[in-house]
Structure 1
Amino acid sequence: MLRQPLPPLSAQTSPWPLPLSGRRVVIPQAAIATLETHPLCRECLPHGVGFYPHAAGHQMRRPAPRDHLLIYCEAGSGMVECAGKLFPVRAGEVLLLRPQRAHRYRANPRDPWTIYWVHLGGTAAADYFDAIADSHDEVCLPIGHHPRIVAEWELLLSVVTRFRTLPLIHAANQLKALLTYIALVRHQREARHAVLDVARVNAWLQAHLDRRVELATLVEATSELSRCQFIREYKRQTGQTPMQAFQHFKISRACYLLDVTPLGVGQIAADLGYDDPYYFSRQFKKMMGVAPRDYRRERATH
């Protein structure tokens, strides 16, 4: 279901005095209102875009922000406070600040940051943030230094200065390209730093077919990843979630026991950690297309 668009508004930007090399573009409210109803850009559109080089004295506080704000720290450092938590900001990190979450931030007085920023809205703006972050609690994320991110932001700045409909539609779609590239970079970086040994995970699952396994137990026993990283990396490598794989292993073992032993369905279910043999039978039929007893009968006739 698409989220409802925010009411038209201009970005609430900081009054930091721009140097000659700095840029700040705020899109007029009337133009935003037009874009929010246009099918080519209503899902995600810029409200304001900027570049602040060596931003000494830069600071901002928003008690109730109405739009999303993305900041990329290219150099220097700063800090951000959001939802009562304080985060240091270093070069190569992005900030994701969501609507209706009070925040404040400032450049480090001793090492002022150089930042690119964009205020954005639209029916799918939150979805683009979700593609970058694993949860809404993630505010400051390391992505590293990437010339292409700077180039994408510079391109956005170059096209957003013309307030006619077609150039702004182009700007909105350039913003989507920027956001999805940051999401790609962030998760590629995570994958490099979070290698999962799927063979080890599968061996552990195969050794515990006789019991119910909680995901948290599996993650702790077989990796050093977070639960979200674990699920994403396992699915990336195998095409299914760990619990789906565990279910397949159990049903595969059930097929073997039905083929080579005289054990009843209830005993097989118990041996595979199922408290309810009827639930086991439903899961078996869902995967194999026939109930366990029918499976055994069909195999016996071949």
Structure 2
Amino acid sequence: MSQPSSWPLPPGSSRVVLPLQLTRQLSRHPLTKHLYPLAYGHYVDAQGHQVERQQHTDYLLIFCHRGSGWYRTETASGNLRAGQLLLLPAGQAHAYAAHNEQPWSIYWAHFQGSAAAACLEFLELTNQQPVLTLARWRQLVPVVTDLLNLQTQRHQFAAAVVAASLLQRIIAELPRLTATMQAPQGFDLPALERFMYNNSHRDLSLDDFADFAGLSRFHFSKKFKQFTGTSPMRYFNQIRVKIACQLLDASTDSIRQISQQLGFDDPYYFSRLFKKTMGISPQYYRESSATKSTQ
């Protein structure tokens, strides 16, 4: 397979490379041989991220959800902006990089399989036009989160089969997310996200978000789930857990201190929520992160 970049991972980023023995099993198993991941990850604010390959043996999907970057292939070139997906086919030399001023944050996956070539046609992409714009990409965030969380489950074949099924679902969902969907009147998701990040230290309720949006609890919850595919409180808690991961990586604060910084009065509730979201406890996450940094 094409080697994923060795770009140094900052807090909040992740990279999973499946062992060769495991990918060989996936390539032979009836449930996975048509489409399976070789490596995948999430790069956050990827300053300095740049790759150039003359030899490329697998398919590569890059989705930009913040910032921007550029790409170049033998037949196409251009910028990749937030909300856009780039699919690079096997066998095609390419280069890509994050822009310097507003570097991209990307989800990415290297994949193979007997059906991998069919992804271009399924997504109505070509070598000359390899970019897809997703108007409703946030609906896929829970599935992508589930895929990234599998990295905590060692390299077991059963987990790899689940990873393959999640990747297949992500690709299968893409066409229906390209259709433009106008945000409901009075519903400004970027402003809501900023409000959530700016108040991640507070124990906010559904009423707080509904008041911010100027809607009733019922209408706000309905419109939020319609536009994002998840509930407002789950969305907010995912943001807080993401920030907790960054604090666990970058600080020596205790789990109790971190939970208090994020507005949780009960550290045990925080730990349960963290494990439900990430699949492991905060303590195990910190220990695993420390182990990786010394390898």
The answer (yes or no) to whether the contact 1:55–1:107 under 8 Å persists in 2 is: yes
Secondary structure in structure 1 of the residue aligned to 2:117: helix
1:148 and 2:139 are equivalent in the alignment: yes
Secondary structure in structure 1 of the residue aligned to 2:78: strand
Measure, in 2, the Cα distance between the counterparts of 1:30 and 1:126. 23
Q: What CA RMSD, in Å, does the superposition of the two structures yield over aligned residues?
A: 1.8
Normalised to the residue count of structure 2, the TM-score between the two structures is: 0.58
1:179 and 2:177 are equivalent in the alignment: no
Measure, in 2, the Cα distance between the counterparts of 1:144 and 1:59. 26
Measure, in 1, the Cα distance between the counterparts of 2:16 and 2:157. 16
1:40 and 2:40 are equivalent in the alignment: no
Aligned to 1:106: 97
Cα distance change on mapping 1:160 and 1:44 into 2, 3 Å: farther
Cα-to-partner distance string for 1:13-62 (whole Å, 9 max, x where unaligned) = 11110012100000011100111000000000000010000000001011
Measure, in 2, the Cα distance between the counterparts of 1:138 and 1:30. 34
Cα-to-partner distance string for 1:194-231 (whole Å, 9 max, x where unaligned) = xxxxxxxxxxxxxxxxxxxxxxxxxxxxxxxxxxxxxx
Measure, in 2, the Cα distance between the counterparts of 1:50 and 1:114. 11
How far has the Cα of 1:129 moved from its partner? 3.1
1:21 and 2:12 are equivalent in the alignment: yes
Q: Which of 142, 163, 166 is residue 155 of structure 2 equivalent to?
A: 163
How far has the Cα of 1:147 moved from its partner? 1.7
Cα distance change on mapping 1:74 and 1:34 into 2, 3 Å: same
Aligned to 2:55: 64
Measure, in 2, the Cα distance between the counterparts of 1:60 and 1:112. 14
Normalised to the residue count of structure 1, the TM-score between the two structures is: 0.57
Aligned to 1:89: 80
Q: Which of 58, 66, 78 is residue 75 of structure 1 equivalent to?
A: 66
Measure, in 1, the Cα distance between the counterparts of 2:53 and 2:124. 21
Cα distance change on mapping 1:150 and 1:129 into 2, 3 Å: farther
Cα-to-partner distance string for 1:224-259 (whole Å, 9 max, x where unaligned) = xxxxxxxxxxxxxxxxxxxxxxxxxxxxxxxxxxxx
What percent of counterpart residues are identical? 33
**Amino acid corresponding to residue 60 of structure 1 in structure 2:** V
The answer (yes or no) to whether the contact 1:42–1:122 under 8 Å persists in 2 is: yes
**Amino acid corresponding to residue 58 of structure 2 in structure 1:** D
Structure with greater Cα Rg: 1
Measure, in 1, the Cα distance between the counterparts of 2:36 and 2:155. 13
Measure, in 2, the Cα distance between the counterparts of 1:69 and 1:172. 14
How far has the Cα of 1:182 moved from its partner? 1.2
The answer (yes or no) to whether the contact 2:76–2:129 under 8 Å persists in 1 is: no
The answer (yes or no) to whether the contact 1:160–1:168 under 8 Å persists in 2 is: no
Measure, in 2, the Cα distance between the counterparts of 1:163 and 1:71. 23
Cα-to-partner distance string for 1:104-148 (whole Å, 9 max, x where unaligned) = 000000110000000000110111232112434221221135222
Any stretches of 5+ residues in structure 2 without a counterpart? 183-295
Secondary structure in structure 2 of the residue aligned to 1:125: coil
How far has the Cα of 1:174 moved from its partner? 0.8
**Number of positions where the alignment pairs a residue of Structure 1 with one of Structure 2:** 181
Q: Which of 137, 150, 171 is residue 128 of structure 2 equivalent to?
A: 137
Secondary structure in structure 1 of the residue aligned to 2:174: helix
**Amino acid corresponding to residue 79 of structure 1 in structure 2:** W
Secondary structure in structure 2 of the residue aligned to 1:148: helix
**Amino acid corresponding to residue 173 of structure 2 in structure 1:** Y
Aligned to 1:198: none
Between 1:163-172 and 1:43-52, the stretch displaced more is 163-172
Aligned to 2:276: none
Measure, in 2, the Cα distance between the counterparts of 1:59 and 1:157. 22
Measure, in 2, the Cα distance between the counterparts of 1:174 and 1:118. 12
Measure, in 1, the Cα distance between the counterparts of 2:59 and 2:43. 18
How far has the Cα of 1:82 moved from its partner? 1.0
Cα-to-partner distance string for 1:174-195 (whole Å, 9 max, x where unaligned) = 1100001112212x34x99xxx
